[in-house]
Every structure is written in structure tokens, then in C-alpha cells.
Structure 1
């Protein structure tokens, strides 16, 4: 909940208001989509000026926590802090561990994923950081993940080259797995690339802070140019060609982790 109005007779500062409101969001007092009290009510609560409150809300908007519109107020556009676990790998120069996933979270039960959208498209200059050349025909698989409170917390977009997307495991009948909507569950703890025989020998990750745009911004309910994390993973074959690339977009205050094991294998 919100902190006390005064501290020893001194009005709270802009920074303290940001801290208090952020804590209220983290604790669930304000959930995704909720409107915050008016600047006048917050000013009364904190014993400070409406200008100080407005400045605090502007800072929170720049952090991707709220959306502020003149005459409308502030709306929460984030959920509780998210932790994105990219997977478990072996130490350098050893075999990559299987069963990796970028969707594991530890924010409690109730998280869910929206349906997978599958389409065929052509890469553009905006996709150059994926390692797949612009103008390449690819199969695009996209999905949004929501936390237990219904807040969108990750948008995942995977681009698979047509050559890799049309692969099928031995004995498979019907549409290739990567071209089919729904979950893909390889047997025996194998990665999808191993199961389909994509020839992927290396997986690399790049994590950067950027601005939410296009489908990712829309899926996450964020205004264009809201700060966010962009995680690009690439599955590269022995000849250097990228077989697939996944772009995960998440609110900026999400944390990213992965585990490296040195178990003597290799």
C-alpha cells in the first residue's frame, strides 16, 4: 500500500512517490489495467504538490510502468516483476544441454500463454539482428505470455527459415511441426532443433534495452516507444547459416537469467 504522507513534517519527494507506487504495483495493490488515483488525491495522500506527483508519474511512464494521458489520468501498464529463465547449458566448449526454454518463470502459478499464431512472411530490415537476411522467406511463430493477474509479460516471435520449418521427424505425417499451430513437444528431452535435425551447433543470445514497437507493443499493451527488453536468440548451423531466431520482448524491469553447468561432459 501507499506510504505515509509526511516524513518528520517534510513532504515526500518525487523519487519516494515513484518508489511507493512501484511497490504498490509489485505487491498487487494496483494491477495491470488499473487507474491510479488522480494527481490531486495522490498529492493529498503524500502532502505534496500536484506538480511533484505529475513529475513522478512522468518518470514512471518513462520506465514503462504507467501510461499517462492528459485529462484521463494514469493507467498501470505492467504486471509484477518478471523473471525470464533462458535455460540450462553446459560450460564453454561442451555440448549444449537439451530441454532449454525461454518461457520458464517463477512468479507463481496461474501464468498462461495465448495461442500460437503461425504465418509465412518475408524478413525486413527490422529483422537484421536475427541473423536471417532481409528478404528471406520464413515461417513466423508468435505467442504472448500472461502472468497470473492477466498482465502480458512476454511476446515471443520465432522466425524459421523455410528449409528448417519444413523438416519433419522420422515417421511424422501431416503438416511439419514448425508450420503447425499449437505446442511442439519433442520426445526424450530433445530440443526442437535436434528433434527435427536442423543441424544447429550453436545457440547465441543478445539482450538489449530498446523501445517496444509494432506487434510486440500491441501484444504487451504498451504505447509505442515504451522501454522494454529485447532478447534475440539464434540457432546457427555448422556452415554459419541461421536456421531460426527468436525475439522475446518483455517489460524493461524483467530480469533475465540462464544456468551454465560444468559437469565434466565433453
Structure 2
């Protein structure tokens, strides 16, 4: 019987496998060696190996499958340039909005599912849009997928006085050249971004299929027209699927 190597711990195993994932030795979607194989390789017990791998699962680097096999998470992150997003000459077309166009340009496949409804503005939404709580807002709620996998939950709020009677109330993934707000006479002239990093709610975890321990970035973008706010958009972006980029002149 082999004596366990006391110098190898669950943490050091996790560190070693994490480095193999980072450097590409273990590729996205690749199955890890079995627990028994790793235990023999590191000279430790299977329990120690399982504890190390559990750490990687909690970080979202490794996912489990039926039958007990573990694989390197295969979702490739997208680079989301928030400086260019919706700035200047928007890349909206009649078929795709600015977000979908940017994903397509990166060689990935975008998909959006949209729900549209009206509701009374909550205190938070009212503060974003300079409204009174209870005022009508039109909501466009999007589930965004990349290559068939959930990547973002994005919800836009528009004052009812601006949105009613316009394409903003149409169901489905509606897009117009230059953006719908510009097309209906309420272009955005500037935006304000607020980013919060937090743990997801149970609903967000389910809808985004998040591994345990995966944080999300909550990105709120408030768009201002000539007279004040015309839209507030909040996007939930999983931390394991996004690189957020800003480019600023200094």
C-alpha cells in the first residue's frame, strides 16, 4: 500500500490543476483524469483529490457530469467593450442590435429572447429615470445567449411617455438602424455606468446556469437625452464569461 504524500494537500492539487487550466494544458471541455488516477499521480488519497477538485468546482473552473466525471468548463468568455458599446455610430441594423452585432463581429453566434410589458416604476427604477415611484415604464427583458449558452440577463426600462406607441412596445427582438431611441426621436447623448460585483440570486443562478460560487457583475447604464434620462438598462453578466473593458483618454 502506497503511503500518502503528506506534502501534497488538497489546496496544492487545486493550485496545480488551476494552473494547467490557465495555461491550456487542460483545455476547455476536456475531462479531468479520474479521481483514482489523480490520487496515484499525486501520491495522496482519493479524498484529498476530491477535496481539491471541489475547490475548482466552487470557483466555476470545473463542472461535474452524470457518472461522476469532471470536465474543464467550456464556456469561452466574451470581451465586452463598454466604451464602444452603443457609442457614437451604433452598429444596429434592421436584423441585429448593437450587442448582437458586436458578438457576431467576434466570430460568435448571438441569440436574444425578449419579453415586453408595462409596469409601475419601482423606487430604484424611478431614481434612474427621474420619475416618481409608480409612474408607468415599458420594460424590455432580454435573455442573451452566445453560441447557444446563456451569457447575460439584460432588462431595459423606458418612461411610458416616451415608449408608448413606438416600436419599443413591440414583442420580440426588435432592432432599427441607429437604435430604436434615435429612430423615435429620443437619441441618447451621454450615458452613466454603475457596476456592482455581487453573488447571484437563486433565479439568476438558475437562468444563467451558474456553477456554485460564481459571482456576477451588475452593469447599470442610464442613457440621457436632451431633457433627461430616456432609458435605464441593467445587465447581469456572469464573472466566468466576461472580460469588461473600458478605454479612456488620459
TM-score, length of structure 2 as denominator length: 0.69
- Structure-1 residue corresponding to 2:238: 251
Residue 228 of structure 1 pairs with residue 216 of structure 2: yes
Contact residue 64 and residue 252 of structure 1 kept, 8 A: no
CA contact (8 A) 2:26 2:72 kept: no
Alpha-carbon separation, structure 2, partners of 1:156 and 1:60? 28
What's the counterpart of residue 16 of structure 1?
A: 16
Deviation of residue 85 (structure 1)? 2.8
Tell me how far apart the structure 1 counterparts of residues 90 and 105 of structure 2 sit (CA, whole Å): 20
Residue aligning to 1:93: none
Q: Please state how far the C-alpha of 1:180 moved relative to its aligned partner.
A: 0.7
Corresponding residue to 1:193 among 152, 176, 181: 181
What is the DSSP-based 3-state SS (H/G/I as helix, E as strand, rest coil) of the residue aligned with 1:114?
Answer: strand
Change over 3 Å in CA distance of 1:36–1:213 after alignment to 2: farther
The CA distance in 1 between the partners of 2:146 and 2:37, in whole Å, is: 29
- CA distance in 2 between partners of 1:76 and 1:233 (Å): 33
Which residue matches 2:78?
82
Give the CA deviation at 1:59.
3.2
Q: Compare 21-30 and 219-228 and name the one that shifted more.
A: 21-30
Q: Which residue of structure 2 aligns with residue 170 of structure 1? A: none
- Compared with structure 1, are the counterparts of its residues 89 and 116 closer, same or farther at alpha carbon in structure 2 (3 Å cutoff)? closer
Q: Note the aligned Cα RMSD (angstroms).
A: 4.1
Q: What is the TM-score when the length of structure 1 is the normalising length? A: 0.66
SS at match of 1:116: strand
Contact 1:141–1:157, Cα closer than 8 Å, also in 2: yes
Identify unmatched segments of 5+ residues in structure 2.
Answer: 1-6, 92-97
**1:146 paired to 2:136:** no
Listed one character per residue, the Cα deviations across residues 187-206 of structure 1 (whole Å, up to 9, x for unaligned) are 3xx23322222253321222
Tell me which of 49, 53, 56 is aligned to 2:52: 56
Q: What is the rounded CA distance, in whole Å, between the counterparts of 1:138 and 1:237 in structure 2?
A: 16
Q: Counterparts of 1:45 and 1:108 in 2: how far apart (Å)? A: 39
8 Å CA contact 2:129–2:230 kept in 1: the answer is no
Aligned residues: 232
Cα shift readout 1:72-99 (whole Å, capped 9, x = no counterpart): 7868776112222335389xxxxx5130
Matched, 1:122 2:142: no
Which residue matches 2:4? none
1: distance between equivalents of 2:238 and 2:14?
22
- Spell out, residue by residue over 1:134-188, the C-alpha distance to the aligned partner (whole angstroms, 9 max, x if none): 544322212222232x321122211222122125xxxxxxxx211112333323x
Instruction: State the alpha-carbon separation in 2 of the partners of residues 165 and 117 from structure 1.
Output: 15
Whole-Å separation in 1 of the counterparts to 2:63 and 2:183: 43
- Given that residues 125 and 157 in structure 2 are in contact (C-alpha distance below 8 angstroms), is that contact kept between their aligned partners in structure 1? no
Aligned to 2:219, the other structure's residue is in SS state: strand
1:113 to 108, 111, 124: 111
Cα distance in 1 for partners of 2:106, 2:189 equals: 34
Q: 1:214 to 1:10 in 2, by over 3 A?
A: closer
